[in-house]
Amino acid sequence: MTKRLFNLRNVPDDEADEVRDLLTAHAIEWYETAPGPWGISSPALWLQDADAYPQARRLLDDYQQARREQAREHARQHGSERFIDLLRRRPGYVLPRLAAIVAIVLLMLALPWLLLR
First vs last C-alpha separation in the chain: 59
Based on the domain organization, do 68 and 95 belong to the same domain?
Answer: no
User: Per-residue pLDDT averaged across 16-29, rounded?
Assistant: 95
Looking at the structure, do residues 31 and 67 belong to the same domain, yes or no?
Answer: yes
Cβ atoms of residues 20 and 30 within 8 Å: yes
21 plus 51 within the same structural domain: yes
pTM (global) more than 0.75:
no
Residues 94 and 111 in one domain: yes
The verdict on 22 and 64 lying in the same domain is yes
The residue segments making up the domain with residue 107 are 83-115
pLDDT tens digits, residue range 48-105? 999 999 999 999 999 999 999 999 898 888 877 888 989 999 999 999 999 999 999 9
H-run or E-run covering 7: strand 3-7
What distance lies between CA 57 and its chain's CA centroid?
A: 17
Structural domain count of the chain: 2
CA dihedral 91, 97, 103, 108 (to 10 degrees): -150
